[in-house]
Structure 1
Amino acid sequence: MTTELMKVIAQENLGSHIEKELEKEALKSLIDPLQVWITSASTPACYNLIPILTSGEVFGVHTEISITLFDNKQAEEHLKILAKETWDLVSPFLRSVSICTRVEEAFRQAHVIIILDDPTDREVYTLEDCLRSRVPLCRLYGYLIEKNAHDSVRVLVGGKTFVNLKAVLLMRYAPNIAHNIIAVALGVEGEAKAALARKLKTTPSCIKDVIIWGNISGNSYVDLRKAKIYRYESAIWGPPHFSRPVLSLIFDSEWVNKDFVATLKQLTTTGKQFGGILAAHSIATTLKYWYHGSPPEEIVSLGVLSEGQFGIPEGIVFSMPVKFENGTWVVLTDLEDIEISEQIMTRMTNDLIQEKLVALGDLINFQPYQSENGSAETDEKTTLPTTDDNQENQTVSDGSEGKTVEH
């Protein structure tokens, strides 16, 4: 046999071997279900999340999942009832459902971990105590994730309480998978779109590209400069892909700068309308985008670790515009005309930096951001909200610095 012929045969054998290995991996992915862990599983958000996860819409109709409900020992009976109801769904995509109340067993072989709002076991009377109370649990979770979870685990931090802070703490205590930890911002984005839809008398799904900057569960900045509306009934009509700028259709600038701001601020402050349904849908949609990509040409808001984009200080989790593709996300740094004024950026980053420093014990007291005239931007910073939320500000941008109102 000549050398050239042997090379040809060897190449064919190698090709056959690779093909067989790929077939094995494909079969393995069908046999081995995706391990999904949900923390604080006794919370209402989990109850609403499970039917979406088991519908086949999030991970795809070719992926089976196993769900583990994780919570403390006191919630064991509730978890058993929830597990039974989940099994009663008879979902063809659900391989198994189990409960876990033993901390040392948490996140074993987890591919996806969903961090929900943790219940408060003890009373806290100051904002500083509330911030510091997040550290022990995030430290524990970070250690367990690195020890027990799959190497490629994806972690989503959802809910309505200190979302950015919990995400950055998890990154600190699970540094090996920090690149796969994100904070869900679609809930705030949904609230903004719904408020706009009520004003324009349309449906929220017709409004796209509303950007949420900053602290998802607190001092955020709602940017409408790229916002578009589709299928809007007006004097100008077009095909389904035709859109118009939202701000060009809202002629009441007073509403944009006052009523709209006040509505979003109230939602953030109280958290009452960010219930289980919205939290669950936001998490599930973010997961779907992470696995299958976000809609083409659409801007999505997501809390990610800053690497200095847009002038944001490094080392904090900050909500910014992204797109999901190929199993990851890309920050949209090439968007035009989305510069944020230095004062607004300083106010948002100041809060997030202080939250992190106070939580880690590097700063004793949280100091509200002082504006140039020496007054505090908010008087709600020094007290702990009764709903266990971080009461902070909401700002809306219509693209004009003169029309940007900060409350």
Structure 2
Amino acid sequence: MGGLDDFLEYAQHYYGVNSTMLSEEMLRIAEENLRAHIEIAKEEEEVKRLIKPLQIWITSASAPISYQLIPLLANGEVFGMTTEISIHLLDIPQFKDVLCGIVMEAEDMAFPLLRSISEHTELDKAFIQADIIIVLDDVLLNREVQSLENYIREVSEICQVYGPLIEKNAKSEVRVISSGKTFVNLKAMMIMVYGPSIKPENVIAVSSSWESAAKAMLARKLNMNVAGVKDVIVWGNITGCNYIDLSHAKLYGYDGAIWGPPNFPYPLLSVIYDSEWIHSELLSEQSSLSSRVSHCVGMLPAHAVATVLRYWYHGSPPGEIVSVGVLTKGQYCVPEGIVFSMPVRFQNGNWEVITTLETNEMTQEALGCLAHELMQEKLVALKEIKEMHPYKGDKVTSNEYLRQGMETLLTDSL
């Protein structure tokens, strides 16, 4: 009891507090307060336990991109600073040691929002209770070994396994992200084909690597901040033949002859007046860009996946155009039923294709060429045709055709 008497004397001396309560009464109140505090702590712990973290599965998780992607997902910037996540790394048994190493490193980083991270090599138990699935599977392209059609069939076989597993094990509202270096559009398409109960609007292919790299290329040319380059559109086959459309691109914060407020945009094609750069360097830069994007091993593709997920959950910047591979419904005269990169906006947890953009005749022809390639891939994957056929029987390749289209577009803009 001496301790309580000392406390009362301390309170009276320093705070002028007097109490007429008996020591026994104060002890009883203290005990009640302590019990209440313990009960509140238990309730808070129970609430925390009941809040289930987002379950994120990553396939082919031994790929280098995982080292860059996991910190981006776990630091709170993608899903929010109050959303906990659990990450599941899936790969074949021979990469189990690699997965274990990734798990240990992630655990050592002690992310407050990373509830758990685990490795998995048993395919039949994949995607259990998945909220998000990030598909990174690639095939090693070597045309000297086998034909393009054989690689397409190989991708189809992978998705023929994934589709039913996702239907069986994942949550009904699961969101599937297709990324990687090869056949990104086709993987998204085939997962929908072999997992017909998966909502088509919940499957997208990531084209942000191309979009951000193209913006950086233009920013270097114009000696400006890359954040000011907006509305560059990537059409078509993300890891195949695509078309980088600059006709709607805008520049913000460009140091030009006309001054305006921070939200004043310059149309990009009215600023690039260097015809020599347009007709030679830009097109060669795009070829170099293709090589850089396809050989990126970590930061760029990881940033692209994280950016798309952040937009999907929290919305894309108001008024901006984002390029994403989605299932077509006839927009811009692109045939229905293929996954095609096109302009979208994210809002309220959903996305919608922006259908109000004007396209000239050359762009429309380019989209037809790109759609043909993707349709051919789909037919080969479904074994409806044995080999791919060129667009309209032209002798000009798709890349050469799109090169001609870009030259025409840029010439018309001068």
TM-score by length of 2: 0.82
Q: CA 1:103/1:124 → structure 2, altered by over 3 Å: closer, same or farther? A: farther
Q: For 1:313-332, what aligned pairs fall within 5 Å after superposition?
A: 313-332=335-354
- Work out whether residues 30 and 64 of structure 1, in 8 Å CA contact, stay in contact via their aligned partners in 2: no
Deviation at 1:73, TM superposition (A): 0.2
Alignment of 1:33 onto 2:53? yes
Deviations 1:17-68 (A, max 9, x none): xxxxxxx9xx579721000111110001111101100110000011000001
Of Structure 1 and Structure 2, the greater helix share is in 2
Alignment of 1:308 onto 2:330? yes
Name 2:151's counterpart in structure 1.
Answer: 130
Q: Which amino acid aligns with 2:158?
A: L
Q: CA 1:42/1:320 → structure 2, altered by over 3 Å: closer, same or farther? A: same
- Aligned counterpart in structure 2 of residue 140 of structure 1, from 161, 173, 193: 161
State the percentage of identical aligned residues: 49
- Work out whether residues 139 and 155 of structure 2, in 8 Å CA contact, stay in contact via their aligned partners in 1: no
Deviation at 1:119, TM superposition (A): 5.2
Alignment of 1:169 onto 2:190? yes
CA distance in 2 between counterparts of 1:263 and 1:30 reads 52
- Aligned counterpart in structure 1 of residue 124 of structure 2, from 76, 83, 104: 104
CA distance in 1 between counterparts of 2:294 and 2:205 reads 20
- Comparing both chains, which one has the higher relative contact order based on Cα–Cα distances under 8 Å and sequence gaps of 6 or more? 1
Which structure would you say has the larger Rg?
Answer: 2
TM-score by length of 1: 0.84
Deviation at 1:106, TM superposition (A): 0.3
Alignment of 1:281 onto 2:275? no
Number of aligned residues = 367
Deviations 1:84-125 (A, max 9, x none): 101111111110001110001100000000011335499942
Q: CA 1:302/1:94 → structure 2, altered by over 3 Å: closer, same or farther? A: same
Deviation at 1:375, TM superposition (A): 1.9
Alignment partner of 1:62: what SS? coil
CA distance in 2 between counterparts of 1:361 and 1:205 reads 44
- Work out whether residues 159 and 187 of structure 2, in 8 Å CA contact, stay in contact via their aligned partners in 1: yes
CA distance in 1 between counterparts of 2:226 and 2:287 reads 19
RMSD: 2.6
- Work out whether residues 34 and 65 of structure 1, in 8 Å CA contact, stay in contact via their aligned partners in 2: yes
- Aligned counterpart in structure 1 of residue 71 of structure 2, from 51, 59, 64: 51
Q: CA 1:396/1:196 → structure 2, altered by over 3 Å: closer, same or farther? A: farther
- Aligned counterpart in structure 1 of residue 268 of structure 2, from 215, 233, 246: 246
Q: Which moved more, 1:232-241 or 1:193-202?
A: 232-241
Q: For 1:3-402, what aligned pairs fall within 5 Å after superposition?
A: 31-118=51-138, 120=140, 124-177=145-198, 178-269=200-291, 271-337=293-359, 341-370=363-392, 374-378=394-398, 397=406, 400=409
Q: CA 1:148/1:232 → structure 2, altered by over 3 Å: closer, same or farther? A: same
Alignment partner of 2:391: what SS? coil
Alignment partner of 1:175: what SS? coil
